[in-house]
Structure 1
Amino acid sequence: MRKFSSIFLLSCFCLYFFGYIVYFFAYQYRLTREWEENIWEESYDNSLTEMMEIPLSLPYMANQDDFQTTNLSMEVDGQFLRVVKQRYQNDTLQVVYIKDQQKQKLNEQVSDWIRSITDNAHNNNQNHKLLFAKFFPKDFIANEISNFEIWSSKLDSTNINTSQTDYRDIFLSLKTPPPQFG
């Protein structure tokens, strides 16, 4: 009975975890198919379209008079956009796009789910900077910190002015001799 209950609980956890991943990819695929149908049939609302001009210099690229239908997805400043038409005119790529609200909601749902799993509801930039400052020295420059602590304790014992300590030689141990040419 114990074995069955542990397998059942593990399968529930896997269904919960992998269910969101399957949901994300399946819904993203469905959104892509819906946009593809709407764009190629031109059944989208033209009042929602906006135009963006991107300076782009391409050699030997001819100016285009008419917009070409296209289906591209891009993210600009945290907003998801669906490009429906584009043309190249006078070293400028002009794109007509619609804001993709459904993809925005999907990504917000997934980020909320990830936040609930990691138990980090108060994930702000300040905590991230503090964690980086805390773990970076430990992982990458731990030897140098111990050398600095030894060196600073020697300075305190000799009572040297801090302006003179800036020019004092620091000896680093080399494990290999320098290469010799000749």
Structure 2
Amino acid sequence: MRRFFAIGLLAIHLFNIAGYSLVFQYFIYQTDTNLITKLDLNQYRESELIQFKIPISVPYIADRPDYERVDGQVEIKGVLYTYVKRKIERDTIYLQCLPNRVTQRLSKARNAYTKHVNDLPQSKKNQTGSTIKKSGIFSEYDFKTLDYQFAAPLATASTYISYLSPSPVPGALEVPGKPPENRG
């Protein structure tokens, strides 16, 4: 009986540590895959699309005057948008997006639940003016810094001259006779 009670408490503790985050992430994944399926089947209203124009400066980019289906998400001013179509003309990318309200509500619910569970202030901001964020094991922004150092080339390169010799090891001494016998 004690063993089941201990396993139950351990399961509750593990769920409190990371389980609720995984459950919310699963629901967000499901809503995103359902939305992408609907978008692939063109089950959306053209009137709901919002167009964004993004200037780019990429040399040798090929123009694509017709819209093509793309997947992705972007958050602008607190609103989450899902890409539907994209076209590229000269120095501008045109994105047509749908607001993703379901995923946005799930993300807000996850953040509110995280604040509640960890006893973080609900609506107050800290002294720097930004909200407190719980950092987990897997960071969303994990930038790795690479540091390269290049050495100056040598002024003169050494030249190696190899001489052909009949023995496999150059400079080996030949033994003058037989080794002594072991008398012991």
Which interval holds the TM-score relative to the shorter structure?
Answer: 0.5 to 0.7
Residues 63-82 of structure 1 mapped to structure 2, 5 A cutoff: 63-82=63-82
1:117-145 Cα distance to aligned partner (Å, 9 max, x none)? 1112345324456xxxxxxxxxxxxxxxx
1:94-127 Cα distance to aligned partner (Å, 9 max, x none)? 0000111011111111111111111123453244
Question: Aligned pair 1:29/2:29, yes or no?
Answer: yes
Residue 55 of structure 1: aligned partner: 55
Per-residue deviation, 1:80: 0.9
Distance 1:70-1:116 versus aligned 2 partners, 3 A rule:
same
8 Å CA contact 1:51, 1:96 repeated in 2? yes
Residue 15 of structure 2: aligned partner: 15
8 Å CA contact 2:116, 2:122 repeated in 1? no
8 Å CA contact 1:39, 1:70 repeated in 2? no
1:56-88 Cα distance to aligned partner (Å, 9 max, x none)? 122122322211111111112222110100011
- Which deviates more from structure 2 when the two are superposed, residues 13-22 or residues 108-117? 13-22
Cα distance between partner residues in 2 of 1:99 and 1:18: 28
1:17-74 Cα distance to aligned partner (Å, 9 max, x none)? 4431221221122122112211211111222111010011221223222111111111
Cα distance between partner residues in 2 of 1:82 and 1:9: 40
Q: What is the TM-score of this pair, normalised by structure 2?
A: 0.62
Q: For structure 2, list consecutive stretches of 5 or more residues without a partner in the other structure.
A: 130-184
Cα distance between partner residues in 1 of 2:56 and 2:41: 29
Cα distance between partner residues in 2 of 1:38 and 1:93: 24
* AA partner of residue 25 (structure 1): Q
8 Å CA contact 1:68, 1:85 repeated in 2? yes
Cα distance between partner residues in 1 of 2:5 and 2:127: 39
Residues 117-156 of structure 1 mapped to structure 2, 5 A cutoff: 117-122=117-122, 124-127=124-127
* AA partner of residue 24 (structure 1): F
Q: Secondary structure at the match of 1:67?
A: strand
Distance 1:97-1:16 versus aligned 2 partners, 3 A rule:
same
Q: Which has the higher helix share?
A: 1
Structure 1 residue runs of 4 or more that deviate by more than 6 Å after TM superposition: none
8 Å CA contact 1:39, 1:71 repeated in 2? no
For these two proteins, the number of residue pairs brought into alignment is: 130
Per-residue deviation, 1:6: 4.1
- Which deviates more from structure 2 when the two are superposed, residues 90-99 or residues 13-22? 13-22
* AA partner of residue 109 (structure 2): Q
